[in-house]
Amino acid sequence: MTAESTEATQYAKQHTDVVSAEEVFKELAEKMNIQNNPNIHNINRNNTEQASTSNADENQEEKERKKRRYIGKNARINAELMKEVLRELRKAHARSYQPEVVNSIERAVRILKVIIAENEDLFPNVLKRIE
């Protein structure tokens, strides 16, 4: 104990309305069965270091997920044109009664969907919006 803490406890004993913080903490430690162990601080430091590294990993993952590729004006125009082509093919499919025309429209739609799926990074969510 330091000289200041002994003076504080003596002052607290003289004045009954004053409570020593050291005594309060000791009582709390006894109630909670906490022993005066210097390794507790090391454990807390290790836990905070692990938490900070896991937080850093989570932040890096979020940054990687949030990173989006810039989609140029031409790619956006092409995406809108492809959506319009799919709409027109759908209308033509609904209006046509000739089996050859219907088959060729269905084939064109399949080919266009494959092209869009292969270039999903250039045409994001085109198929999701249409279907």
What string of DSSP letters covers 49-67?
A: HHHHHHHHHHHHHHHHHH-
**What's the confidence (pLDDT) of residue 117?**
80
Q: Residues 88-128: pLDDT tens digits?
A: 888 998 998 898 989 998 988 888 888 878 877 776 666 66
pLDDT band at 51 (very low <50, low <70, confident <90, very high): low
Structure tokens at 1: 């104990």
Q: How far is CA 67 from CA 61, 92, 118, in A?
A: 10, 39, 20
- Residue spans of beta strands (DSSP E) within the chain: none
Structure tokens at 97: 């009664």
- The yes-or-no verdict on residue 75 having pLDDT over 80 is no
**What's the confidence (pLDDT) of residue 110?**
87
> Using CA atoms, how far apart are residues 31 and 15, in angstroms rounded to an integer?
25
**What's the confidence (pLDDT) of residue 49?**
56
pLDDT band at 80 (very low <50, low <70, confident <90, very high): confident
Name the more confident of 78 and 28: 78
